[in-house]
Structure formats: structure tokens, C-alpha cells
Amino acid sequence: MSNRISRAAVLGAGVMGSGIAAHLANAGIPCLLLDIVPPKPGEGDKVGSKAFRNKFAASAVANMKKQKPAPLFTTAALSLIEVGNFDDDLSRIADCDWVVEVVKEDMAVKRALFARVEPHLKAGAIISSNTSGLSIKGMLEGRGPAFKKSFLVTHFFVAG
């Protein structure tokens, strides 16, 4: 196991997830920001396009440019954040040393995502949940020994 984080993934592109992605980019760590595929297309949306499928993560990155105070130290840090979605890009977390889950505070949602994440984690990767109070034991239900050994809870505070 490496103790250096060379690449990370943030699963959830809401305010907290996008803020964590910005912190990682500010530290010079390339990261993958993933979210769900939008469930309800709008009129004229091309549902098969990457632009539509990555809409939530791409919108989060676009919002970083407008926020005051700015979450990024430099505009160059934006180039360290790649966007995607859980359906098309989850396998890309296999290249990450740290995967941070930042989805809805709902045990069933977190468990379902961890079940999808586990087969893609590389050996020795850290997996964390940015939960504010859900049971660690509950989140780990159904996960294998390697996942459990690499799991921890983080709690970032992002100004917004």
C-alpha cells in the first residue's frame, strides 16, 4: 500500500463534494468528480450525450468559477478535476488512491453506492465517507474485509 495520494475520486458533486474536489485540486491532486446521471431530462436534452450524462458534475465545476469566495486558489487547478457519472465512469476509480463518498445522508443510498464501488477499488486504496453521523457499522454492512480495512470517515467543512 502506498502512503501517497496521487489521484482521488469524489463521489457526489453537490456543494460538499465539489468543495472537496476543489481542496484536492488546490493541493495538486488530480481528481475525478462523479455524480448520478440526471434522472429527468429536460426538453431538448440529448440523454445519450456525455454533456447530459455528466451534467451534475460538470455544473459543479462550472459553479466553482463563479463562487465567492472562490474554492480554487487558481484557475489552473480546474484542469486537475475531471467529471463523469456513476453509470459510465465508476470503473475509473480503479486508478485512485483515495475515494471519498459524499452522497445524500441516507444509509440505503450509501450502501448501494459502496456495493458498486467495492469491485473497482484498487488494492490499498482508501475509501472514506463524508458522513456527519451515520453508523460506520451500518455503512460497512455487506462489504468485504479489504473494503472494511481501508474504510474511514472524513468530515470536511466547506464554506459556501
Residues 81-91 as b/e (b if ≥16 CB within 10 A, e otherwise) read: bbbbbbeebbe
Q: Has residue 1 got a pLDDT over 50?
A: no
Least confident window among 98-102, 130-134, 147-151: 130-134
Distance, in Å, from the CA atom of 121 to the CA atom of 125, rounded to the nearest integer, reads 6
pLDDT digits (tens, 9 = 90+) for 136-149: 999 999 999 999 99
pLDDT digits (tens, 9 = 90+) for 6-57: 999 999 999 999 999 999 999 999 999 999 999 999 898 999 999 999 999 9
pLDDT digits (tens, 9 = 90+) for 58-76: 999 999 999 888 899 998 9
Per-domain residue ranges of the chain: 8-153
Catalytic residue flag (residue 155): yes
Q: Has residue 158 got a pLDDT over 80?
A: no
Q: Does this model's pTM top 0.85?
A: yes
**Architecture per CATH, 8-153:** 3-Layer(aba) Sandwich (3.40)
Collapse the DSSP code of 58 into the 3-class scheme (helix H, G, I; strand E, B; otherwise coil) and give the result: helix
Q: Which helix (H) or strand (E) holds 139?
A: helix 136-139
Percent helix, percent strand, percent coil in the chain, to nearest 5: 40, 15, 45
Of the candidates 65, 115, 155, 160, the residue annotated as catalytic is 155
Spatial CA neighbour of 110 closest among 3, 1, 11 = 11
